[in-house]
Amino acid sequence: MPGTKRSKIKKNDQVVVIAGRDKGRRGRVLEVSPLKGKVKVEGVGMIKRHQKANPQANRGGGIVDREAYISISNVQLIDPQSGKPTRVKYQIEGDGSKVRVAAGSGHSLEK
């Protein structure tokens, strides 16, 4: 897979899951993998993993819950004004910078 893929969803964005077993859940994006087209969302897509104890890292063993990657097409950003899911578009500012904007309300998604 040569080249890079762009993602309109970034780390720490607030998103809502629009498809799958966790449909309707909201959370913060923990990790984005644009090449795979996947994201990890806090508290969404939980899976169980067996973990071996590691005394040097002060980590106990057992079965741990962690977030799995879910498809980026199954999440939408939350509009900061209305709190509803929205599509994202880019807008060029007067100084030439490019910012992400909620398609519905037109409000900026940048912090």
Q: By residue range, what is the domain housing residue 92?
A: 79-111
Residues 66 and 90 in one domain: no
Residues 14 and 49 in one domain: yes
Evaluate if residue 111 carries a pLDDT over 90.
Answer: no
Residues 12 and 33 in one domain: yes
Which pLDDT tens digit goes with each residue over 27-54?
999 999 999 999 999 999 999 999 999 9
Residues 11 and 33 in one domain: yes
Give CA separation, 91 vs 15, 71, 95, 101, in Å.
20, 25, 11, 7
Q: Looking at this protein, which amino acid is placed at residue 3? A: G
Give CA–CA dist 99/35, Å, rounded.
22
Total residue length of the chain: 111
The CATH number of residue 37's host domain is 2.30.30.30
Residues 71 and 91 in one domain: no
Give CA–CA dist 52/72, Å, rounded.
31
Structure pTM? 0.84
Residues 57 and 101 in one domain: no
